[in-house]
Amino acid sequence: MHPSPLGDLVLAGPEPDVLASITVPDQRHATGVQPHWRRDDTAFTEAARQLDAYFAGELREFSLTLSTPTSEFRRRVWEALDALPYGTTITYGELARRAGLPAASVRAVGGAVGRNPLSVVRPCHRVMGANGSLTGYAGGLDRKRFLLRLEGVLL
C-alpha cells in the first residue's frame, strides 16, 4: 500500500519497477492482480516517488515502465489517454476520434476507460461527458474531482 490523498494505493506488477496496476480503495473494475505479481512498495520505489511528486503538484508527466497487455481496441484507447496533457480534459467522443475509432464506439471507449488498470498514471480522470459534465470514474467522482482540481481544471 502506498499512502496518497486518494487513499492507500495498491501498486502491483510482474517484476520490480514494471507497473501493471494501480488501484484505489473501493475501485470499481479493479484490475485482477495476478498471484505472481509483486505488490510491495519496495518493488515500486520510482512509481511511489513519481506519484508523491504528482500529488505535491511537482510532476506533470509520468515516466514509468508499464506492462498492460490487452486487446487492440483497449490499447488504442489507452494510448490516446496516455497522450492527454496535464490540466486538460477530453470527451469520450473526442477520445474515440483520437484513437482512430468510429464515433459509434463511444460506449465501448467508455468501457475501456473504466477498466484502465493504471489509475492516475494513465489519466482516465481527464475524460468528461459530451456536455462537459463529470461522468463515471472507477475510483469515484470525488476522487476524479480531486485530481482535476489538482491539475487546475476545476476550481
User: 3-class SS at 68?
Assistant: coil
CB atoms within 10 A of CB 48: 17
Among 6, 22, 96, 124, the one annotated catalytic: 124
Give CA–CA dist 17/106, Å, rounded: 33
Decide if 124 is catalytic.
yes
Q: Cell numbers at residue 89, please? A: 480534459
Give CA–CA dist 59/61, Å, rounded: 6
Give CA–CA dist 35/122, Å, rounded: 23
Cell 492507500 belongs to which residue? 8
Q: Which residues are known to be catalytic?
A: 124
